[in-house]
């Protein structure tokens, strides 16, 4: 059910997430060679867990509510907090922020395909056509708009990492939309948005810290800790914890409550445009001619494949913004 809020506030809540998520990609690029990617991901979410403590008092005081549901929540944490941004930060070592955010913009297509394969959601001709258009946009990005590259395909590691991240996010989103019985209705703990995010972060940190430990074991002695003496690295960590994590997540939840997930998703696809702006200002990397072509194909594909709000969207709306899925 929609909530009555001023239009300017709804628009603000719709715009802040893509601005923050695009900035996260650019900051991740700036941290290449400064903070190792798995370490950056673990530090980000560890700080988020600390910052959420005052807001997630209910979950903190009642650990049995989330410890008894560990089988579902540990997978949720692995796919969201544990995997998505780790793969994104890895991708940024070999792919530009514009490429990364363009590939991430295809997440709705992967959600549609996961729904078809895993949840028996009908796949109509228009949706299939939309998927083809979006995938053509991804191919345009990955080939840099050159047909000879398509005929002699060479994977860029960053592109592959982002495709895996988008698939992980699609599965994560369906797990939110179709939770098990112990997380639905009266059986669901009385968590607010901060409680539920904190619980996800706690489970996700198990995976994030494990990945960071493996990473540190494979870097030269001391090389993984150089960032400790870099004030810009600390500033970047604080920013990605406050902006793309807490602020963007909360605004996204409010936006989904106000306008529904389908309309909100179109604003999420502004992320590549903002990424181009941030990249030009902070990295000196402007968009190439094929980037707007790819964006047009992806946007057209999502527009074609998106259904009118129906039972599935109402189910997400019923859960509210507390569980709304947006890039973390």
pLDDT digits (tens, 9 = 90+) for 202-249: 999 999 999 999 998 887 776 678 888 899 999 999 999 999 999 998
Asked if the model's pLDDT at residue 155 lies above 70, the reply is no
Asked if the model's pLDDT at residue 151 lies above 70, the reply is no
d(CA 189, CA 182): 9
Q: Specify the range with the lowest mean pLDDT, choosing from 139-148, 169-178, 206-215, 260-269.
A: 139-148
Average pLDDT, integer, range 127-150: 68
Token pair listed for 236: 């970047």
pLDDT at 219: 79
d(CA 282, CA 301): 30
pLDDT at 41: 96
Mean pLDDT rounded to a whole number for the chain: 81
Domain contains 2: no
265, 215, 189: which is closest to 14 by C-alpha?
Answer: 265
Longest dimension (CA), the chain: 59
Structure-model confidence comparison of residues 275 and 73, the more confident one: 73
Say if CB 173 and CB 109 are below 8 A apart: no
Domain contains 165: yes
Alpha helices in 92-192 (DSSP H): 97-104, 107-118, 125-143, 147-151, 157-177
Helix (H, G, I), strand (E, B) or coil at 313: helix
Structure-model confidence comparison of residues 102 and 261, the more confident one: 102
CB atoms within 10 A of CB 134: 27
d(CA 86, CA 103): 15
CB atoms within 10 A of CB 182: 14
Domain contains 40: yes
Q: Specify the range with the lowest mean pLDDT, choosing from 63-72, 105-114, 157-166, 246-255.
A: 105-114
Asked if the model's pLDDT at residue 153 lies above 60, the reply is no
Asked if the model's pLDDT at residue 80 lies above 70, the reply is yes
pLDDT at 319: 43
Task: Name 203's Cβ contacts closer than 8 Å, sequence gap at least 6.
Answer: 66, 70, 73, 74, 76, 77, 78, 81, 82
pLDDT at 46: 96
For residue 325, report the phi and psi dihedrals to the nearest 5 degrees. -95, 125
Tens-digit pLDDT profile for residues 14-54: 889 889 998 999 999 999 989 999 999 999 999 999 999 99
Say if CB 323 and CB 200 are below 8 A apart: no
CA distances from 53 to 49, 184, 201, 312 (A): 6, 24, 11, 32
d(CA 182, CA 188): 6
Sequence length of the chain is 328
Asked if the model's pLDDT at residue 314 lies above 60, the reply is no
Domain contains 328: no
Structure-model confidence comparison of residues 226 and 294, the more confident one: 226
Please tell me what DSSP assigns to residue 181. G
271-274: long-range pairs with CB below 8 Å, 24+: 271/18, 271/21, 271/22, 271/25, 271/101, 271/104, 271/105, 271/327, 272/22, 272/98, 272/101, 272/102, 272/105, 273/18, 273/22, 274/18, 274/19, 274/21, 274/22, 274/23
Q: Number of structural domains, the chain? A: 1
Helix (H, G, I), strand (E, B) or coil at 122: coil
Asked if the model's pLDDT at residue 107 lies above 60, the reply is yes
Q: Specify the range with the lowest mean pLDDT, choosing from 52-61, 148-157, 216-225, 318-327.
A: 318-327
> 48-57, 142-151, 260-269, 292-301 — which one is most confidently predicted on average?
48-57
pTM of the model as a whole? 0.82
pLDDT at 47: 96
Average pLDDT, integer, range 260-283: 76
- Structural domain span for residue 77: 7-323
Domain contains 1: no
pLDDT at 328: 55
Token pair listed for 272: 């590549």
Asked if the model's pLDDT at residue 3 lies above 50, the reply is no
Domain contains 286: yes
pLDDT band at 126 (very low <50, low <70, confident <90, very high): confident
Q: 303: buried, middle or exposed (CB in 10 Å: 19+, 13-18, 0-12)?
A: middle
pLDDT band at 196 (very low <50, low <70, confident <90, very high): very high
């Amino acid at each position: 059910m929609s909530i009555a809020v001023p239009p300017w506030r709804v628009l603000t809540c719709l715009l802040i997430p893509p601005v923050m998520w695009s900035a996260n990609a650019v900051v991740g690029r700036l941290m290449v060679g400064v903070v190792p990617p798995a370490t950056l991901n673990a530090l980000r979410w560890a700080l988020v867990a600390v910052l959420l403590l005052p807001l997630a008092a209910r979950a903190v005081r009642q650990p049995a509510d989330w410890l008894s549901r560990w089988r579902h929540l540990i997978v949720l944490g692995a796919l969201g907090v544990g995997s998505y941004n780790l793969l994104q930060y890895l991708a940024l070592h070999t792919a530009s922020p514009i490429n990364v955010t363009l590939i991430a913009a295809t997440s709705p297509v992967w959600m549609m395909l996961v729904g078809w394969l895993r949840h028996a959601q009908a796949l109509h001709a228009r949706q299939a056509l939309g998927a083809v258009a979006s995938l053509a946009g991804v191919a345009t990005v990955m080939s840099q708009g050159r047909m000879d590259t398509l005929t002699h395909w060479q994977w860029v590691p960053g592109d592959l990492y982002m495709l895996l991240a988008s698939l992980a996010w699609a599965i994560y989103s369906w797990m939110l939309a179709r939770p098990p019985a112990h997380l639905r209705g009266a059986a669901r703990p009385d968590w607010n948005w901060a409680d539920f995010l904190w619980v996800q972060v706690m489970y996700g940190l198990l995976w994030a810290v494990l990945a960071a430990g493996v990473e540190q074991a494979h870097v030269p002695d001391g090389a993984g800790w150089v960032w400790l003496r870099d004030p810009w690295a600390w500033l970047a960590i604080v920013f990605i914890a406050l902006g793309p994590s807490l602020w963007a997540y909360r605004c996204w939840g409010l936006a989904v409550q106000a306008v529904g997930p389908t309309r909100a998703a179109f604003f999420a696809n502004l992320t590549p445009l903002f990424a181009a702006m941030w990249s030009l200002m902070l990295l000196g990397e402007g968009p190439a001619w094929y980037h707007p072509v790819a964006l047009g194909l992806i946007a057209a594909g999502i527009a074609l494949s998106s259904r009118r709000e129906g039972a599935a969207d109402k189910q997400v709306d019923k859960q509210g913004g507390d569980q709304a899925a947006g890039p973390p």
